[in-house]
Amino acid sequence: MQRLIVLFGCILAITFGAANLAMAQTDAAIAEGQEKAAAGDIKGALQVYLKLTETHPDSYEAHALLGGMQLLDQHYADAVKSFQRAISLGDEGARSFVGMGMAYMHMGQLGPARAAFVEAKSRGVADEEGVDQVIAYIDKRKPGATGMQH
């Protein structure tokens, strides 16, 4: 019985050690991506976050960060997919909805963009006034408008 308890303790230590190592690696990757983005190296940050989603496929944070870089790099359809993945993995805040709304706007899909911004607002977006202005902008657009395609 003593051996079993010691073995169980070792397994727990290895598991928590691995979790801490994974968390440290994730934090380092996030910091690296943020540094690259701050320096204007969007493609470099994009690669860091893409790798992060490969090593941590169940991390909503990784997918939300990737979506942000895809949005900045004008890969709008990919950004929408990344934000949707982040939301499906448990991102309960407003940021993925704001990002998704921006991507939809750039693709000229104002209906889905509006829906994303309305959902962001319901989730307590920090800049509620700004989101209200974006929703008002969308509401003023003529039906069939082409949006902000690049």
Q: Which CATH number fits domain 2-140: 3.40.50.20, 3.10.620.30, 1.25.40.10, 3.90.1150.10?
A: 1.25.40.10
Q: What span, in angstroms and rounded, lies between the C-alpha atoms of 111 and 40?
A: 31
Give the pLDDT band of residue 93 (cuts 50, 70, 90).
confident
- pTM, two decimal places: 0.77
Q: Under 8 Å CB-to-CB from 95, ≥6 apart: which residues?
A: 64, 120
Question: Residue range 100-107: average pLDDT?
Answer: 94
pLDDT of residue 21: 35
Q: How far apart are CA 136 and CA 145, in angstroms?
A: 15
pLDDT tens digits for range 6-23? 333 333 333 333 334 356
* Domain assignments of the chain as residue spans, ordered by start: 2-140
What is the widest separation between alpha-carbon atoms in the chain? 75
Which residue intervals of 39-148 are DSSP H helices?
Answer: 42-55, 60-72, 76-88, 95-106, 110-122, 128-140
In the chain, the percentage of residues whose pLDDT exceeds 70 is: 78
